[in-house]
Structure 1
Amino acid sequence: MKKLLLMSTLICAPAVVAHNDNDSTVSFNNEQCNVEFKNDVRIKPDELEIFTANKQTMQFNTNGNLTINGESVALNHSQQKALTQYSDSLRTQLPEVANIALEGVKIAGVALQEVANAFNIDGLDNISSLMDDIKLEVQNTFYQQDTFVMGQQSFNQFGENFEQQFEQQIETAVESAVMQSMGSILVALGSELLGSGGDMQAFEQRMENMGTQIEEKVEQHADALEKRANALCENFANIAKQEEQLVVQVPELKGYQLFSFKQN
C-alpha cells in the first residue's frame, strides 16, 4: 500500500513543468542553463513585438520595417537581414516552450494510466478531464488570439494559475479515484500476494518490481523531455549571443533583448 501511495503522489509530479515553489513562476531554466528571460515577446503572423516591463516596445514586421515606441527606424539591407534572421530564430524556437509544457502534461497522463492499469483503479474520468483543462490552460497562456506570447510575465501567470486552479485539484482527484477503487486495489494486492505464495518478502519484491517498471516507463518519457529542454536552453543561449551581435549592428535595439545571461 505504501508503494501505491508513492505512485499516486508521483502522478502529480510530471505535470508541474519545472514549477518553482520559491516564486510561483514557471521556468525552463535549470542549473545548466545560463540564460533567463529579460523581456516579453509577442509573435504574430506578420510581426514580432518585444516589450519591456515599463511598456517600451520594439516591433519588426515581415516587410522588414522596424518601429520603436511608435517611431520608425531606418535600416539598411544588412540590418534588415540580421533582424529577419533573428525574428526567424524566435519564431522557430520559442513555441517549443509551449510544446514542452504540453508534453509534460502528457507524461502525467502516462503515469496516471500506468498506475491505473497496475492496480485496476477506476474513477479516473475527473482526472482525465482535469488534464484536458491543464492542456487548455497551457494553450491559453502561450497562444492568445493567434499570437504567441512568452516571457517572464507569461510564466508568472501560468505558475500562479496552475498553483491556484489545478495543483490541489489534481491531488484531490487522485485521492478520490484511489478511494473509489479501493476494492479493486485490494483485489489486485491480494492477487499479487497469492502470486507470491503468501510470502510477504516475495510480495514486497513483486510490488517493488511493479513500481520500478511503472517508473521506468514514465522516466523514458521524462528523460526525452529533459533532453528537449536542455537542447532548447542551448538554442536560447545562441539566440542571446545573436541578440548581442544584433545590438552592435542596430544600437537602437539596446534594452530590447529578450534574453540575458545569468550572472555567476
Structure 2
Amino acid sequence: MGHFEAFSLALIQGLTEFLPISSSAHLILPSQLLGWEDQGLAFDVAVHLGTLLAVILYFRKELIILLKAWLGSIFKRQHNQDSRLAWMIVLATIPACIFGLLMKDIIELYLRSAWVIAATTIVFGLLLWWADKKGSRSKDEHQVCWKQALYIGIAQALAVIPGTSRSGITMTAGLQLGLTREAAARFSFLMSIPIILLAGSYLGLKLFTQAAPINYSFFGIGMLVSFVSAYACIHLFLKWVTRVGMLPFVIYRLLLGAGLVVFLLI
C-alpha cells in the first residue's frame, strides 16, 4: 500500500463512518474493484482511532454531561433525562456486540462480496428514504424509551453486514420511531462511540498479540486524515441534515448499488 492509497482509504473511512452510505462497503470495494492490497491491521486500528477521537471531541460537552449523569445514577441513585439517555445508549450497544461476536466468522467468509454490498446498498437506501418520508419527526433523543433503544440497537447489529451502513440503519430506525432528523443523527453518533471503541480495542488487541509490523507513516496518515475528515463530516451533516434530508444519500446509494450491479455483470 502506497501513501496515496493510505490517504484515500483514511479519507473514505472518515467521510463514510458517519454518513448513511456504509464505510465498510467503501473500504472493501477498492480492493475488489481496483485491486488495492489489504491495508493491514495497524492501518485499521489507526482509522478507528481517528474516527473515535473525532466523535469524542465533537460531542465532548455532551459526553461529560452524560457520563456524570450516568455515574450519578449508579452511585447516588440520581436520575434525570441525561442519565436516562446514557442508559439508552448502553442498552442500544448490546445487540451489536452479541451479533458481531456470533456472526463475525460467517460474515467474513460469505458476506464480504460486491454482490452483497450492491444489494444492501440499494435495499437499505430505499428503507432510509421510506423512513425519512413517513416518520413523524417529532421527538428528540431524550425521548427514546428502552424498547425503542433496543430496536435501534438491533438495527445497529445488522450493520455488520457490509453495505448496510451503521449510521444509515440506526438513523433509519430512529426516523421510523418518530425522531427528528437531527435527533436520529445525534443518537446514532453517540451510539457509535462504544461500538468504535470496542471494535478498535479488539483490533488493537489482535495487533498486539500478533506482533504485526507497524508502518508508522501509514499509521499517522490513517489516524490524522480519518480524524479531520470525520470531524468535518459530523459537523456538516448535523448542520445540513434538517434542511436537505436523507434524499441525497438515498440517491447516492441507489446510484452506487446500480453501478456495482452493472460493473459485476459486464
Asked whether the two chains share a fold, i.e. TM above 0.5, the reply is no
User: Relative contact order, CA 8 A, sep 6+: which one is greater?
Assistant: 2
The structure richer in strand per residue is 1
Q: Which has the larger radius of gyration?
A: 1
- TM normalised by structure 2 equals 0.30
The structure richer in helix per residue is 2
